[in-house]
Amino acid sequence: MSDVAGRLVDYYEREMAERAHRPLGDERERRLAAFVDTARREELASVVEVGCGAGRDGVVLAAAGLAYTGLDLTPAAVELCRGLGLDAHVGPATDLPFDTATFDAGWSMSTLMHLPGDDVVTALDELRRVVRQGGLLEVGVWGSDTSHEWTDDGGRYFRSRTDDELVGLLAAVGEVVAFDTWSRFADGGHYQWARVVVGG
């Protein structure tokens, strides 16, 4: 495990139990509900969540009738998810332990911005591999008006990309059919969300 990954695990192992009780926020809840509605309308049966955390999204997806599988780098997160009755696995976003075209949909919120270097490209390639062609993928990350990287006081690495950079990365996965931002800060930081139809 890299130093970056090790620091992330250390941070979230300490924080995960508290995070389990933290509200998702209005925008996240709205996007999650819309994702569920789309899955029902398009008759999608299964979803993989990369960065499942404490299972706050996972319980909603599973309750909606989707066959849910979660993955997280942090063992404490996976333990919490399993305690909620969710199918969850420990592993990195860059090497998903699932067969090709296993899932109808993918969901990853506030996770991929923790990947250094070109690891986000590898992670998106992995999502494209495990979600079938024509499937649905929704990704949310913290981005910025300028591209930069930093490590916070808790030891977590972040890589912020501009809107255009993120859309360009996602275009390699499939067709970006929707993109939006919210929670804008004075320094240009903001949340980025995208919906992608996975290509071949």
- The ranges assigned to domains in the chain are 3-198
What pLDDT is recorded for position 51?
Answer: 98
Residues 140, 42: Cα–Cα separation, whole Å:
21
With 90 as the cut, is the pLDDT of residue 62 above it?
Answer: yes
Highest mean pLDDT among 5-14, 18-27, 53-62: 53-62
Question: Could you tell me the sign of the dihedral formed by the alpha carbons of 197, 198, 199, 200, in that order?
Answer: negative
Place of tokens 């690495």: 157
pLDDT at 200 over 80: no
Q: Is residue 93 very low, low, confident or very high in pLDDT (cuts 50, 70, 90)? A: very high
* pLDDT class of 21 with cuts at 50, 70, 90: confident
Count Cβ neighbours within 10 Å for each residue of 145-166 and write b for 16 or more, e otherwise. Answer: eeeeeeeeeeebbbbbbbbebb
In this prediction, residues 122-126 reach a mean pLDDT of 98
**CA–CA distance, 75 with 120 (Å, rounded to integer):** 21
Q: What is the mean pLDDT of residues 1-13?
A: 90
Question: CATH for 3-198?
Answer: 3.40.50.150
